[in-house]
Amino acid sequence: QGALQMQGRDAKRKNASINGVYAAVSGGFNMKPAFEKADGSATRFLFYSVKKKRWKINENLDDSAGGFAYAKDAGDSGPGPQLRWHIFDGSGKGY
């Protein structure tokens, strides 16, 4: 997997910065594929959390924080259009 595109979050809504093209990170993360937002507009990583059994988007390759968005998945394959993403809408609103 070389790259993927994340799209669909309205530009006016919180965490719209998750939209964009993500390039594969050499070596991945925890033995799974990982991706970094490629356009430089915001530091974002998309990776699989073995601990939580979900794909996550966060500002670091770090599984200890909640992140901007997640999609539950068994992790058997890379992220794709089959995933249903939950995006953080802000304090008090949740995902």
Model pLDDT for residues 1-47, shown as the tens digit of each residue = 589 999 999 999 999 999 999 999 999 999 999 999 999 899 999 99
Model pLDDT for residues 71-87, shown as the tens digit of each residue = 999 988 889 888 999 99
| 60: DSSP letter | S
pTM value > 0.85: yes
Model pLDDT for residues 49-69, shown as the tens digit of each residue = 999 999 999 999 989 888 999
Question: Is 94's pLDDT higher than 80?
Answer: no
> 42: which 2 tokens?
């915001």
pLDDT given for residue 93 in this prediction:
79
Q: What is the spatial distance between Cα 47 and Cα 42, in angstroms, rounded to a whole number?
A: 16
pLDDT given for residue 1 in this prediction:
58
- The CA-based diameter of the chain, rounded to the nearest angstrom, is 36
* Sequence-ordered alpha helix ranges (H) in the chain: none
Burial class (CB in 10 A: 0-12, 13-18, 19+), 14: middle
The position carrying tokens 């992140």 is: 67
